[in-house]
C-alpha cells in the first residue's frame, strides 16, 4: 500500500499514523522495533537539520534497509523543509513525503510558495505526498522555558475555515498541518496548552484532505484520542524522542563509568525511546 492509501485507511478506521523524528541510528532502530512489535505502519521524519546530520541519501538507504528487515510499512518524510531547492532534493532522493513549511510567511506568500513546492515536487516524483502548513506553532523540538511569543495559539489567531479551504484549493497539497492549539516543544514547568478540538473539526471540514498534527510531544492522551476522532490522521512526535535519547545516554554512561562499548552505553536510549513509541502508537492506533 502507498502512504496515501495507508492514510486514507487510517481516516476510515478512525485512527492515526505515528510520525517520529530521528537524527541518528539508535532512535530509528527503537522506533521501528516499536512499530514492528505492534504491527502498525510508521512514518520516519527528518527535518533539514536532522537529515543534514545523517545525510539525505544515507537516510533513504537506511530506511530502505529496514524495510527489507521488517514486515510493517515504513515511510520517510522530509519534515519542515523551508526552501524549494530542498524540496527538489528530497523528491529526487526518494522520500515518500515532504512538508514544505512557509507557515511563518503571511498567508498569500505561504500559498504562492507552497503551490510552487507542490509543482516542483510532483514533476520529479508524481507519487510524493506534499504537506503544507498554515498557522505558526514555533520551530524547535526542545524543552521550552516559556511559550514562544510569535506563535498562533489563541482561537482568534488560528487559521479560519475559509483560509484553510483557500490554502488547500490553491496549493493542491495532499496533507495539511494546521495550528490548532499545538506547539513544537515541551514546556518545562507547566503542561503544554490543550488542543482546540472545535477548530480541528472545523478545519477538517474545510480542508477535505488528511490533517497532520505537529508538536505531539507533551499533549495529553485524551486530547490525542479526541483529536483523532475530530479529523487528525497523522501525529508528529519529536521532543519526547529527544528527551528519552538524552536520558538513556546519561543512564548508560552512569551505569558503568568504565564502559566504552557504544552499543552497551546506548542500549538504555534504545529502550527508553521504544517505550515512548509503544505508548504513543497504542494511543494513535486505538490498541
- Residues in contact with Zn ion by CB under 5 A are 214
Q: 120 is written with which cell numbers?
A: 516542483
CB of residue 236 vs Zn ion: minimum separation in angstroms? 5
CB of 126 to Zn ion, least distance (A): 25
> Do the bridges between strand 97-100 and strand 74-81 make them parallel or antiparallel, or are there none, so unpaired?
parallel
Shortest reach from residue 212's CB to Zn ion, in Å: 8
Encode burial over 238-272: b for 16+ CB neighbours within 10 A, e otherwise. bbbbbbbbeebbeebeeeeeeeeeeeebbbbbbeb
Nearer Cβ to Zn ion, position 41 or 216?
216
Residue pair 22/46 in contact by the 8 Å Cβ criterion: yes
- Residue among 196 and 239 whose Cβ is closer to Zn ion: 239
Measured from the CB atom, is 97 or 265 closer to Zn ion? 97
**SS3 letters for 69-111?**
HCCCCEEEEEEEECCHHHHHHHHHHCCCEEEECCCCCCHHHHH
Nearer to Zn ion, 214 or 280 (CB): 214
258 catalytic per annotation? no
The alpha carbon dihedral of 68, 11, 215, 118 has a sign of: positive
Contacts of 166 (CB under 8 A, 6+ apart): 107, 111
Across the strands, what pairs with 18? 42, 235
**Nearest residue (CB) to Zn ion, 223 versus 268:** 223
Q: How far is it, in rounded angstroms, from Cα 149 to Cα 121?
A: 33
Instruction: Provide φ and ψ at 187, rounded to 5°.
Output: -70, 135
* Active-site annotation holder among 79, 96, 101, 174: 79
**Distance of closest approach, residue 260 Cβ to Zn ion, in angstroms:** 36
Do the Cβ atoms of 52 and 89 come closer than 8 Å? no
* Shortest reach from residue 239's CB to Zn ion, in Å: 10
**Angstrom distance (rounded) from CA 19 to CA 123:** 25
Catalytically active residues, by annotation: 79
Amino acid at each position: 500500500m502507498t502512504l496515501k492509501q495507508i492514510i486514507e485507511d487510517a481516516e476510515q478506521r478512525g485512527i492515526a499514523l505515528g510520525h517520529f523524528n530521528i537524527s541518528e541510528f539508535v532512535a530509528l532502530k527503537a522506533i521501528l522495533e516499536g512499530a514492528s512489535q505492534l504491527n502498525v505502519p510508521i512514518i520516519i521524519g527528518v527535518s533539514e537539520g536532522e537529515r543534514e546530520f545523517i545525510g539525505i541519501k544515507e537516510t533513504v538507504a537506511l530506511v530502505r534497509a529496514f524495510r527489507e528487515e521488517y514486515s510493517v510499512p515504513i515511510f520517510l518524510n522530509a519534515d519542515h523543509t523551508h526552501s524549494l531547492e530542498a524540496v527538489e532534493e528530497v523528491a529526487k532522493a526518494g522520500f515518500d513525503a515532504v512538508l514544505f513549511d512557509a507557515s511563518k510567511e503571511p498567508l498569500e506568500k505561504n500559498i504562492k510558495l507552497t503551490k510552487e513546492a507542490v509543482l516542483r515536487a510532483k514533476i520529479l516524483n508524481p507519487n510524493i505526498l506534499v504537506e503544507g502548513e498554515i498557522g505558526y506553532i514555533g520551530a524547535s523540538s526542545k524543552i521550552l522555558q516559556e511559550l514562544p511569543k510569535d506563535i498562533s495559539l489563541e482561537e482568534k489567531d488560528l487559521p479560519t475555515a475559509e483560509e484553510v479551504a483557500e490554502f488547500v484549493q490553491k496549493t493542491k497539497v495532499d496533507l495539511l498541518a494546521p495550528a490548532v492549539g499545538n506547539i513544537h516543544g515541551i514546556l518545562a514547568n507547566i503542561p503544554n496548552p490543550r488542543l482546540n478540538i472545535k477548530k480541528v473539526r472545523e478545519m477538517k471540514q474545510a480542508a477535505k484532505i488528511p490533517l497532520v498534527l505537529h508538536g505531539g510531544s507533551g499533549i495529553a492522551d485524551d486530547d490525542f484520542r479526541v483529536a483523532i476522532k475530530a479529523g487528525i490522521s497523522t501525529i508528529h512526535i519529536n521532543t519526547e524522542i529527544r528527551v528519552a535519547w538524552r536520558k538513556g545516554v546519561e543512564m548508560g554512561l552512569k551505569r558503568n563509568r568504565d564502559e566504552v562499548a557504544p552499543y552497551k552505553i546506548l542500549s538504555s536510549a534504545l529502550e527508553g525511546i521504544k517505550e515512548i513509541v509503544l505508548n504513543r502508537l497504542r494511543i494513535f492506533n486505538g490498541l
